[in-house]
Structure 1
């Protein structure tokens, strides 16, 4: 296979911040009936590309367009200015914007785990967080979801940064990847598909990293079921109020797209490579390592509130200072008209 270029990794890194969860869509222009969707590169893009071709969406919204967003700030601006009416987003970003007064409604959660670790094989097994004792770990995005999840797990495992292990922060996943591949780190915290891209790049240098699934560690250390409610889809309140049928049909299309990606990962990997600079090999590795399932906002609420509460103890600004109220969650009655394939 061809090694990933620095340019490809930069593109992936630029889009990976929200893959700790992952946005996908851009907007429905009500006047023209056009659905414009925005997405980062990665599995959310695969899901949305599939959902936009759903027969029920084609029938209801003939004009559809899929675009890639450049960075989280652009997404926030689109939402705030109502240029985006429907988007995938990390759940904490959605909650934060809602608590700042942006009229958003969470429709569903469909990404339940992208986070993991890679470790240098020569440092020994990486079967639990406790195995990190004595190691130097790299983490991108200080204070963001990967960092908070990692620090929460360290605390649960009884490890203290500085005493038991060294942690250094990098400004981007690309920097973390480069340091890990150069063996300047013993381990690295990374979301998918960056983790798979890193593993494949390391293989070019004869390295075979060890891996640790942080969703499994969360379940083991907290006693909760496996899966972190990391990302889902939100719409602006006016879209739901004015076009409830569109929201219901899109919800159904996303549900079927999620099921298709999970059931046919090789086919989904081809779709992913057709819509991004990432290779089929990257998607083939990333999809099985990402926990995806469709759950409505109401179904997800107990886990969301548990997740938010745990990480808010480490960073009060994580969700904007408080748990979102009832209006943040799409009512179950709003999805009864989900379109049929």
Structure 2
């Protein structure tokens, strides 16, 4: 699939790309290249917009986006310094940091985009899926660990009390669901919206949809832990040499926040950008996903209380998820 981009075509289509972040005149010569990387999820949409709009021209002569397909590839890219800014689950960032991989979390930008999508509209809570087969992506990683955590909190052993069918990626879980090989799948936006679109289960005016939004894991989190239904699920992190370049990090954070705002204000145009990188997604599905994704960049230090509460639950479940301990202040640049 080509990642080429015709700026003039997008401008003619009405897509206003992010303006480059301007830096003080004293800043040194820009980097020759800045590589942004992310998964086929909403967290990557602002990174794609930044790369396509050359929003970091003030710090890098060239900015490009590359996708990662699964957490193993993500870890390889981070450890091998194959990207400078990576969108990643918050626990993966902490695990890498605690293992000395040289990672600094910049923000939390996805506050929950996980749902069990089902053919049975009567199933609305996790407990309703006991005994059922569920397609689950990324075994041992987000979103599997969220399913395990929320089930355990209410006395359900997910691996014993449910039939978990693990698959390599959310897109594969979605494919199993829409081809009727499973009745339920744990999906992350925009895969949820894509599944609903593929089966003509959206918009809500559909009289008899094939698929339904079942258990909302964000609502389960809020109910079970008596907190707002917001999970510090994923954000962007700096790796390698850029961690020690505050002007670059500041430019990245400003541009990412601006691109988040643009994506939320222009969901269909954002969808057109994202669809260039994820073949199974359509612009309309990405646009549908925006209201359900809780996309909003919060500086990692400002989000630290939410992050630490989430991490404490993961530590109690399995310390290895975080590399054995809560990350210290250096994890968020404190």
TM-score with structure 1 setting the length:
0.77
Equivalent runs, 1:148-167 vs 2, <5 Å: 148-161=145-158, 165-167=161-163
Which residue of 112, 128, 143 corresponds with 2:140?
143
Partners of 2:53 and 2:320 lie apart in 1 by 38
Preserved CA contact (<8 Å) 1:129 1:157: no
Partners of 1:98 and 1:119 lie apart in 2 by 36
- Distance 1:119-1:35 versus aligned 2 partners, 3 A rule: same
Aligned to 2:68: 69
Is the partner of 1:313 in helix, strand or coil? Answer: helix
Equivalent runs, 1:218-233 vs 2, <5 Å: 218-233=221-236
Instruction: Report the CA distance between 1:195 and its aligned residue.
Output: 2.0
Instruction: Report the CA distance between 1:174 and its aligned residue.
Output: 5.0
Which residue of 208, 211, 218 corresponds with 1:209?
211
- Distance 1:316-1:120 versus aligned 2 partners, 3 A rule: same
Deviations 1:53-72 (A, max 9, x none): 66762233232222223443
Uncovered stretches (5+) of structure 2, i.e. residues with no partner: 2-28, 202-207
Which residue of 282, 307, 312 corresponds with 2:310?
307
Which residue of 244, 262, 265 corresponds with 2:264?
262
Deviations 1:256-310 (A, max 9, x none): 1112222322232222224432211221222222111111111111111111121
Instruction: Report the CA distance between 1:125 and its aligned residue.
Output: 1.5
- Distance 1:93-1:56 versus aligned 2 partners, 3 A rule: same
Preserved CA contact (<8 Å) 2:113 2:188: yes
- Distance 1:226-1:202 versus aligned 2 partners, 3 A rule: same
Preserved CA contact (<8 Å) 1:141 1:169: no
Q: Does 1:251 align with 2:248?
A: no
Aligned to 1:96: 95
Q: Does 1:109 align with 2:108?
A: yes
Is the partner of 1:76 in helix, strand or coil? Answer: helix
Aligned to 1:10: none
Equivalent runs, 1:313-328 vs 2, <5 Å: 313-328=316-331
Partners of 1:94 and 1:229 lie apart in 2 by 12
Partners of 2:174 and 2:81 lie apart in 1 by 35
4+ residue runs over 6 A deviation: none
Instruction: Report the CA distance between 1:208 and its aligned residue.
Output: 2.3
Aligned to 1:177: 174
Instruction: Report the CA distance between 1:188 and its aligned residue.
Output: 1.9
Aligned to 1:131: 128
Partners of 1:324 and 1:195 lie apart in 2 by 32
- Distance 1:281-1:312 versus aligned 2 partners, 3 A rule: same
Uncovered stretches (5+) of structure 1, i.e. residues with no partner: 1-6, 8-29, 332-341
Aligned to 2:9: none
Count of residues in correspondence between the two structures:
298
Instruction: Report the CA distance between 1:99 and its aligned residue.
Output: 1.0
- Distance 1:65-1:139 versus aligned 2 partners, 3 A rule: closer
- Distance 1:291-1:31 versus aligned 2 partners, 3 A rule: closer
Instruction: Report the CA distance between 1:201 and its aligned residue.
Output: 3.0
Partners of 1:56 and 1:230 lie apart in 2 by 25
**CA RMSD of the aligned region, Å?**
2.7
Preserved CA contact (<8 Å) 1:143 1:315: no
Partners of 1:308 and 1:260 lie apart in 2 by 30
- Distance 1:63-1:300 versus aligned 2 partners, 3 A rule: same
Partners of 2:72 and 2:133 lie apart in 1 by 31
Partners of 1:176 and 1:74 lie apart in 2 by 18
Aligned to 2:195: 198
